[in-house]
Amino acid sequence: MSKKTVFHIDVNSAFLSWSAIYRMEVLGEELDLRTVPSIVGGDQQSRHGIVLAKSTPAKKYGIQTAETIQSAKRKCPNLIVVPANYEVYVQQSRRLNEILKKYCDRVIPYSIDESWAEFEGFEHLYGDPVEFAQKLKKEIRETLGFTVNIGISTNKLLAKMAGDLKKPDMVITLFPDEIEKKLWPLPVGRLLFVGKAAEQKLKSLGIYTIGELANADLSMIRAHMKKQGEAIWNYAWGRESEGMFEEQGENKGCGNSITTAEDVTDKNLARQILLSLCETVGMRLRAEGHKTSCVCVGIRTSSFENSTRQMQLDSATDVTEEIFETACRLLDRVWDGRKPLRLFSVSAVRLTHDEYRQYSLFEQKDYEKLEKCNKAMDSIRARFGEGAVMRASFLKTSVSPTSGGLNKAKRQVRQTGAGKREQTSEEKKENLQRPIDISKQGKI
């Protein structure tokens, strides 16, 4: 039986690189943003000017992803700031995966700028993996105009960590017999899925490197960190957990998350953020013909503590209002308002195509009307853009009516697919300036 070889392909400074290429090749600009201090900045109204990506020259000024644009400009007054263009990013991601699919049947996207390629019998197909990876990297650069890192190993976990060892524009192996030399000397915070809270916990146990974690007593790790401790202990040995990077099949679920620029302490603001996430989750469910029978809400505090809660629904639904009401109940269970929050997520899981609804004698809401209203909103957004219609409760807030930048781009690409005319920039601008209010008295 031939062994499996896994490539992890990661685009270097993806949003910045893709923005630079688009602005030169499509807009005709001469300046390559990758050669000067520059950043891709988030929507200043909805995300308070967050740094989404930065050029290599910008890194020399200490600019960090997720800091505010104001902070970045204080570090580098001549910093060039360009807006994100998610539709371009989705198109570039697809072009990258199309190249990978020429050589491999199993291409598994991990995020918009990362994919795995799994090969069986690699040595019989392409020979030496490092030599082939160098050729693949060169083809991507010459064909698409951007550079990538390629990590090589025998499973997805090690391949991804290999690609993170050194950047940019590198091919790096991390096979099981290289773990002790290449992986173990690194700080424990460099291990995949070890966040700041877990890192601090490990340091309190006297564990500072990945090697110290790997050689620590598992029962001690498990006693202090439960299942998470056992999982990351195995990761330090290069062992994947079952279903760790499972592909998202048709019925896995859909969700959205957002990291806020400022800590959230007000419960009304937290609910507003949840509504914007529920709006996009509901749109995705209806676009794909699914209903959810279980809603999950996740939060992360400013001290990087994560909590999640989920609730089974009496009837499967794709109604935004129903998803939102459930999300609010879950938020009340998971958060008492004392610790500031920096991340919110809403997921719809246990999807179904069922059309029936279990009605209660005491139910006052007309869900049939809500379903029709939601579909009408979807139709308007599909034709005129997502900014064409919003709920009145968003009119005087800084929260986006539909949160989730990448998923927004995917929705727009889906809505303007084959056989549908793409709007011109002038049409989009005109429609975005003409919102339609279908809410009553400022309610959802």
The residues annotated with a catalytic role in the active site are 114
Helix (H, G, I), strand (E, B) or coil at 356: coil
Q: Is the distance from CB of 169 to CB of 148 less than 8 angstroms?
A: yes
Q: What is the DSSP string of 20-32?
A: HHHHHHTS-----
- H helix intervals, 152-194: 156-163
Q: Read off φ and ψ for residue 60, nearest 5 degrees.
A: -65, -20
Helix (H, G, I), strand (E, B) or coil at 242: coil
Helix (H, G, I), strand (E, B) or coil at 213: helix
- Quick one: DSSP state of residue 209? B
Q: Is the distance from CB of 344 to CB of 298 less than 8 angstroms?
A: yes
Q: How far apart are CA 348 and CA 365, in angstroms?
A: 21
Q: How far apart are CA 25 and CA 146, in angstroms?
A: 13
Q: How far apart are CA 54 and CA 79, in angstroms?
A: 10
Q: What is the dihedral of CA 388, 393, 397, 402, to 10 degrees?
A: -50
Structure tokens at 168: 């940019």
Residues 6+ apart with CB under 8 A from 196: 189, 304
Q: How far apart are CA 188 and CA 203, in angstroms?
A: 9
β-strand pairing of 38-41 with 80-83 = parallel
Q: How far apart are CA 341 and CA 261, in angstroms?
A: 10
Q: How far apart are CA 264 and CA 258, in angstroms?
A: 12
Q: Read off φ and ψ for residue 307, nearest 5 degrees.
A: -145, 145
